């Protein structure tokens, strides 16, 4: 495992909910990243975020880590959940809250 992959694994495993996105939740740099941050805020769960635009090694590394070609990417308790389309579908069906807050189901 490369150094960037090890760092990503450490960041992912040390945050219960983490969103790799373009920009930040307050200043998203793409519509998909903005949408995913809004969904998490609507779910009222605290989450960490990583701006992939700040570091090309992170931007490329996270795609390799998840074997998923696009950003944003959501991880919950170390597991890759998906990107914007998957999160939107899960949010609309109620499944995302079940993943984010399993204790309240």
Residues near 26 by Cβ (< 8 Å), separated by ≥ 6? none
Whether the pLDDT of residue 90 is over 70: the answer is yes
> Confidence band (pLDDT; 50, 70, 90) for 105?
low
Kind and range of the H or E run holding 49: strand 48-51
Residues 34-88: tens digit of each pLDDT = 999 999 999 999 999 999 999 999 999 999 999 999 999 999 999 999 999 999 9
What are the Cα distances from residue 52, in Å, to 5, 64, 81, 99, 103? 14, 13, 17, 24, 31
Give the separation between CA 57 and CA 4, rounded to whole angstroms: 7
> Confidence band (pLDDT; 50, 70, 90) for 1?
confident
Strands 17-21 and 73-76, bridge-based pairing: antiparallel
């Amino acid at each position: 495992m490369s150094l960037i992959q090890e760092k990503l694994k450490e960041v992912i495993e040390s945050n219960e909910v983490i969103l790799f996105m373009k920009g930040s939740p307050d200043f998203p740099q793409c519509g998909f990243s903005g949408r995913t941050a809004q969904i998490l805020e609507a779910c009222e769960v605290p989450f960490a975020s990583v701006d992939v635009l700040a570091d090309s090694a992170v931007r490329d590394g996270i795609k390799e880590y998840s074997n998923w070609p696009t950003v944003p990417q959501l991880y919950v308790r170390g597991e890759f959940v998906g990107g914007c389309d998957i999160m939107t579908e899960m949010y609309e069906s109620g499944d995302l809250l079940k993943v984010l807050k399993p204790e309240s189901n």
